[in-house]
A and B are shown apart, each in its own frame.
Chain A
Amino acid sequence: MNPKFSQLIVVLLAASLAPSFAGLTPEQTGQLPPPATHSVNFNKEIKPILEARCISCHGRGKSKGSFRMDTRETMLEGGDSGPAIVLGKSAESYLIELVMGFDPDTVMPQKGTKLTREQVAVLRGWIDQGAPWDAGVSFGKLEPINLLARRPELPPGTDQKANPVDRFLDAYFAAQKIKWPKPVVDRVFARRVYLDVIGLLPPPEELQRFVADRSQDKRAQLVRRLLADQDNYTLHWMTFWNDMLRNDYSGTGYIDGGRRQITQWLYTALENNLPYDRFVAELINPTPEAEGFTKGIVWRGVVNASQTPQMQAAQNISQIFMGVNLKCASCHDSFINDWTLADAYGLAGIYSDEPLEMVHCDKPTGTYAPLRFIYPQLGDINPQAARAERLEQLAKLITHRQDGRLTRTFVNRLWEKFFGRGLIEPVDEMENPAWNVDLLDWLAEDFADQGYDAKKLIERLLTSRAYQLPAVPAEEQTHDDFVFRGPLVRRMSAEQFRDAIGELTGIWYAKPAPRIIHADGATNRFATVRAALVPADELQVALGRPNREQVITVRASAATTLQALELTNGTELANLLQHGAEKILATRNGDSSRVLAETLYQKALGRKPTAAEVRASEAILGQPAQKAGVEDLMWALAMLPEFQLIY
């Protein structure tokens, strides 16, 4: 549609709905509270009223009834029903009529309590005194933060050769009066880094070799070695991306073609460590292999306008790559942030072949939003261009070097994964301030400088001293007065737990669900079938593997009773332990119960059992070791916080 024409419709529609100013009757005028006679202070008396009661609909980018209170000028301009105030004449000002609420249909504010008589008196006094407005005060749309790329100076830190993360934290710790704690021992570091990079426990032999290694940079070497373990790295990070991109081997929509997997594309991208800018561009402007992401999930039947495939694409792109929640704005101007219905439709429309009529809370509005990305600061979309071209423009704009939101969002997600809490929280609200702005900005820039190489970013984070600090006990809630002291204690994901059980018992899944062609042309070349390669079973579901109907960026990590029931008497785990015990007993070559206990402790916890633990284990194993004893020892080990937590 011609943009001018659509604007005209907006105006006509709005005008027909707008309250009209009839003027007050003499009787109503008599009911007005007398205007305040003192000299009204805008900042102290007026601004708070506007902020609390008016701005959420008439400021910060919102303009109900085409009326904006952003500045004195827009306020004087008025809206669809004419001027809001007549300078010097409060009794003739429409604003006063509305806040008095003589007509309940047009009372302002429309929701909540009416303004008090005292507030109206102050507003009258202010209008009568010429509505003075302090310079610099604006209720216009705020400039977004964390948007453009920014390169802060790298501080000297105490050690010029130190990891840049630590050079930023030197200053931070100094300001917080925190002394750098001593890094964790090798064994704890290795367990942490294995789980974080490839999602597996360190095999005892590798762990021993690492502990015995005398080289200075052995920790950095280990990180690099794990990052180079292509298959296991890929399988671990599949879970992270499957959660976000809603990719799975089963789920709603597949039943009648309303959904498509992107498994092969994703596997290949991770296996090849596809640079993140290209990774994102290929998802936004996809080849058929990656199309499933923006096609969304479609159930048979009629879908609510706020959940059309185009709108799903808009919501998911904003959330995953830009840390912006457009969900509310897909239905109406958001009450929780500054995004508007037009912002959501402007982005969704890019994916639509036909112009998308805006639908406000299930009611078609007859209007169309101009096609644009949610941050026009990053560039324009040509509304005349064909869909394919628009997608290309969108992909370019989001992955442009100056888009510092893309990089910050990703850096922050990784930081949250490794440290248990983001530099910005929640991780999907990237318009919140970071607790260390320079650190985030520098890492984001560095990530782009390094060619958007996710592995280099991971290496940067995991070789920092900050990552090697002792784990800090987590609290149920994160508080605004959060102080960073080290990585928080985390819990294994469902997949990590199941894979760890695989390592302990030697029992893995039977066969992978997808057919994966590897970079070298081999098909399904997997040493073991790990949890990420199969649809969720009851054990994985109980441990929090989500059904991927919604974008999941952070899983709930609290243990629940239903989980514990599954672990205590569920069939899946019981079968694994039984088969595992059989296998272990069949291959142990007459080892004593003591040796068996030591082996299982090494596999599960990466350490030798203490004398007391050996005694207890020998008692439960029996002499010679019985199958039931092996099962019960493995069960008890797997239930220990020392096993299930990442510390």
Chain B
Amino acid sequence: MKIFAPQSRRDFLKTASAATLSALAAGFPRAICADEVEKINASADTVIVLWMGGGMAHTETFDPKRYTPFSKGMAPDSFLSTFPSIDTAVDHIKFSQGLEKTGQVMDRGTLIRTYTAGDLGFILHSRHQYQWHTGYAPPQTVAAPHIGAIIARTLGPLNPAVPAFINIGQRFDVGEGEELKAFTTAGFLGSEYGPFNIPFPDQAAETVRPPGGMTPGRFEDRNRFYKRLLAASPIGEAGSDYQKDSLLRSLDNAHRLLSSPAAKAFDLALEPIESIRKYVPGYEPGQRFDAKQDRFGAKYEEQMVGRFGLGCLLARRLAEVGARFIEVSTEYIPFLNWDTHENGHTRVAAMKQQIDSPLSQLVLDLEARGLLNRTLIVLASEFSRDAMIEGKPDKRIKDQVEVPDRVEDSKHYGMHRHFTDAGCVLLFGGGMKRGYLHGLTAEERPCKTLRDRVIIEDLHASLFHALGISPKLAYEIEKRPFYVTRDGEGKVIPELFG
């Protein structure tokens, strides 16, 4: 495999046969730097994606519309927002109630209100999430890499002792877990660039510590002992073989990572308690947030507040020691978190409570450490929601949620259908404008995109651009180019950049 520059199909053909045949046979990537890829001055070194998996309703969060309080018997199409709007630090930008802290840092950020999800038919969240994270709609004939893997592959780690792609907060033994696995992968780029998964951030330290109960001393002894056996083995260090070399190199890398000072960044116990409480209000020392999924458990909300809060704190600590790409998820679980098929109003209130403190604190902390300029925070979701419209106004798809004629029960008060014609993406730092609003949506239903539509290809092109990566960059697999934005067609949105 090799990297190559955007070029004409014919030029591609000329080089394809000779150069790639041998590379492919080995099935292992080899990078050939492309001279022709345009040189871009990067404005960011690190990306933190805050993933609102499940469908975050725009009118209930960062694009509030006319507020209608709940009243028994109200018409289901009578409400656009179930919360009043609030002011933010930017005069012309209003948020939905419950996002006060984030509103106070809006002057540091850029808000896109017109993210438009693809038309993939009858909704399966994980298909849209796949598209958001790879730029391609599934299934694909080759395993499409996650953007974190593309970034890891293209730029490498920022600090060699920190995995380049870290994925926090998502388990894979939940509903649609297999589908989530299908895009949480380096795909054809090879597992070197795959995610370092930390489903429970309060256990992050254990992921870089010696295994269960082993003291650091024994860990070092074991490694020294291994080196002795290796030296004594007839197939030890002598002689060069690609398989052997790669095995020994990988073990050395792992050992270096585990014994590096950077590994301390994974240990949240080293964080002052006051600092943790800014991410997880009311946090008590030693408190764990590793309960199994329990949608009816009384402590569910508390657990999720803790997990996402600690996830954001962990992201900050990792960004400080030179992580390249971090994703923190509120966790996608069917019918939980942002996947509000009923009780939308109550659920969204809880979700906003979950994200407001850590999100704003992450921005402030990175700013205080002088890291915000080179760290790009991206808060996004696979699509939005609406009370009435499934899909787009002009491309309706099969409804998944029944809407009653009259809303008698508060469980029907909320945004329960999957709306794909507008949605919010919040960007902070990494060269993005400060206090900027991009895109306009309708004030009345359908609250669709009116101006400056943003699609996934262009959003990705802009993220890549911030990192100095061309949207036309391609990796080669099975002799064909696989572009980092679909068919190399992603277009950078220049208005976003400061």
Contacts and interface: CB of A to CB of B under 8 A. Distances in A.
12 contacts: A252-B178, A299-B126, A302-B122, A307-B140, A336-B479, A421-B25, A474-B241, A547-B143, A559-B243, A561-B163, A574-B212, A620-B221
Given A559-B246, A632-B225, A479 B22 contact: yes
B295 interface: no
A327 B30 CA distance: 22
Interface stretch (A222-230, A509-517, A563-571, A580-588): A563-571
Contact of A560 (B142, B191, B233): B191
Contacts of A315: 141
A558 B226 contact: no
Contacts of A559: 243, 246-247, 249-251
Contacts of A301: 120-124, 127
Given A475-B242, A476-B30, A477-B26, A302 B251 contact: no
A331 to B, nearest CB: 9
A473 B225 contact: no
B240 interface: yes
Interface residues of A, number: 94
B272 interface: no
Interface string B1-18: 000000011111110101
Interface of B: 8-14, 16, 18, 21-28, 30, 119-124, 126-127, 137-143, 163, 175-176, 178-179, 181-182, 185, 190-192, 194, 196, 207-212, 214, 218, 221-222, 225-226, 228-230, 232-236, 239-244, 246-251, 253-255, 257-258, 478-480
Given A56-B10, A549-B143, A562 B192 contact: yes
A476 B137 contact: no
Nearest to A616: B228
A299 B141 contact: no
B308 to A, nearest CB: 23
Given A112-B11, A336-B13, A426 B24 contact: yes
A636 B225 contact: yes
Contacts of A612: 232
A546 B196 CA distance: 16
Among A251, A254, A426, A570, max chain B CB count under 10 A is at A426
A613 B16 contact: no
A644 interface: yes
Given A557-B28, A616-B229, A640 B235 contact: yes
A547 B181 contact: yes
B123 A567 contact: no
Contacts of B119: 302
Contacts of B11: 112
Interface string A602-628: 000100001011001101100000001
A549 B248 contact: no
A197 B234 CA distance: 25
Interface in A466-518: 473-480, 489-491
A255 B21 contact: no
Contacts of B241: 473-474, 489, 641, 645
A217 B429 CA distance: 72
B10 A109 contact: yes
Contacts of A564: 250-251, 253-255
Given A473-B241, A636-B229, A640-B235, A112 B251 contact: no
A477 B30 contact: yes
Contacts of B207: 569
Contacts of A111: 8-10
Contacts of A380: none
A473 B142 contact: no
A645 B222 contact: no
B179 A56 contact: no
B314 to A, nearest CB: 17
A635 B30 CA distance: 31
A98 to B, nearest CB: 16
Nearest to A561: B253
B271 to A, nearest CB: 22
A556 B140 contact: no
Contact of A489 (B137, B181, B228, B243): B243
A409 interface: no
Given A255-B176, A426-B21, A562-B196, A641 B233 contact: yes
B247 A112 contact: no
A362 to B, nearest CB: 10
The 9 closest A-B pairs by CB, nearest first: A302-B121, A574-B211, A564-B254, A473-B241, A564-B250, A301-B121, A559-B250, A425-B25, A560-B192
A126 interface: no
B248 A330 contact: no
B435 to A, nearest CB: 38
Contact of A549 (B139, B192, B255): B139
Contacts of A312: 139
Interface in A392-412: none
A536 to B, nearest CB: 9
A557 B25 CA distance: 12
A463 interface: no
A562 B480 contact: no
Among B185, B239, B247, B254, max chain A CB count under 10 A is at B247
A167 to B, nearest CB: 27
Contacts of B191: 542, 544, 556, 560, 562-563
Contacts of B258: 565, 568-569
Contacts of A255: 175-176, 178-179
A335 B23 contact: no
Contacts of A619: 225
